Amino acid sequence: MTDSPLIASLTAATESRPDDAVLRLHLAELLLDAARPQEAIAHIGYVLNRDPANATAQRLIQRSLSPMGPPEVQTQAEAAVPGPPSDDLLAEYEQELSDVLPPRFAVGDGPAPVAGEPDRIFDVERPGTRLADVGGMADVKKRLELAFLGPLRNPELRRLYGKSLRGGLLLYGPPGCGKTFLARAVAGELGAHFLSLSIVDVLDMWLGNSERNLHELFEAARRNAPCVLFLDEIDALGHKRAQLNSSAMRTVSNQLLAELDGIEGNNDGVFVLAATNTPWDVDTALRRPGRLDRLALVLPPDAPARETILRYHLRDRPIASIDLRRLVAETIDFSGADLAHLCETAAEYAMADSIERGEVRMIEQRDFESALKEVRSSTGPWFATARNVALFANEGGAYDDLVAYLKKRKLL
């Protein structure tokens, strides 16, 4: 929908004066009059987050969430009785979708990998996320600074000290702790492209196609260098070959090893990051020097990071009387995904109560107390397995960081 000149001007004004509550609420009222309640709620929630007692904001949130909606909107809705779309309208709609959502694979301009067949272009992004946007993870950031970021920012010193950019970094830890987000932040910090590879991008039912898909993904990263190539769930593609019963998966693992060996030559400008929840299942050949030769443990967020994550997920929700310190203290070992789920569950309790009472209210501490009875940390099973690995399979001190953390938490 095209903005009216007044709405467009007020929107621009709120960007320069984000804490002006009067301006935001005036814009929200205009958006409600224009039958755009979702946009209005974002502005109202911003005000309520900072001033829960604001009477104008409370009145507008009641209006925006009213099931009846503004009278003029009802009249338009009642008058517009849709019929079946015509074929021409469907064709136009499909064309618009194809313009907005390009297919996963498209014909490219580069050389074809096989004579007579078109090359495929993958979803290569340029993230705007930076490492400063990642809460906590000081040790991981330090490891990234030593391995990639510092040498790249100082090419002359890199040459002086003979620092190579060979190799990659393997991120491991409990699920939901931000490994993918961290990889995007590294790409944003470098100003590089970002290409994510998962098992569904590689595996194919036809013999030889999986290896070809893997090669083309690496070729796409090389064409878009500098590029961060993120290998998600690396244990699925690079599982220990001695434990594989499928010869097809062994050849895929061998192809992955061959592509990573290109770091010595034609992988210049390709920075390989991989992630797994179970590094002890990854083939040891993948972790030799020159491949994924560095390990970094990504742990559940610490107290300051938990507070930052909770604030982020509550930023656009109407809240009142929330004791953040108490929530932070009660969510030890919660992953980032667990914290997001906790906020979502608390919002569900507040919404259910609002529906039952017929009156909209804020999300309060009691909703979080109810949510905490339902939402538990998902990292417990992972630490139970990791404890056994730390005790009996820490060959060569590969998991010394994990051992230190478990001892600190008195889990070992």
**272 within some domain:** yes
* CA 147 to chain CA centroid, nearest Å: 23
Give the whole-angstrom CA distance, residue 57 versus residue 55.
Answer: 5
Q: In what order do the strands lie in the sheet with 168-172?
A: 193-197, 227-231, 270-276, 168-172, 294-297
pLDDT of residue 377: 94
CB contact at 8 A, 229 and 272: yes
Give the whole-angstrom CA distance, residue 69 versus residue 240.
Answer: 59
Domain range for 256? 131-297
**255 within some domain:** yes
Q: Tell me, yes or no, whether 263 and 329 share the same domain.
A: no
pLDDT of residue 86: 52
CB contact at 8 A, 165 and 265: no
Exposure string of 270-308, with b = 16+ CB inside 10 Å and e = fewer, is: bbbbbbbbbbbebbebbbeeebbbbbbbbbbbeeebbbb
**326 within some domain:** yes
Residue 103: Cβ-neighbour burial (10 angstroms; 0-12, 13-18, 19+): exposed
pLDDT of residue 264: 46
pLDDT of residue 262: 61
E strands present in 178-308 = 193-197, 227-231, 270-276, 294-297
Q: Which residues contact 26 (CB under 8 A, 6 or more apart)?
A: 10
Q: Tell me, yes or no, whether 24 and 57 share the same domain.
A: yes
End residue of a domain, out of 69, 89, 110: 69
**183 within some domain:** yes
Q: The CATH number of the domain where 266 resides is what?
A: 3.40.50.300
pLDDT of residue 112: 41
CB contact at 8 A, 332 and 383: no
Q: The CATH number of the domain where 327 resides is what?
A: 1.10.8.60
Q: Tell me, yes or no, whether 252 and 332 share the same domain.
A: no
Q: Within the chain, which residues score under 50 in pLDDT?
A: 1, 67-85, 90, 93-94, 96-119, 263-264
Q: Tell me, yes or no, whether 282 and 186 share the same domain.
A: yes
pLDDT of residue 97: 41
| Model pLDDT for residues 55-91, shown as the tens digit of each residue | 888 888 878 766 444 444 444 434 444 444 455 554 5
| Model pLDDT for residues 94-131, shown as the tens digit of each residue | 454 444 434 433 333 444 444 434 445 577 888 888 88
Q: Tell me, yes or no, whether 367 and 251 share the same domain.
A: no
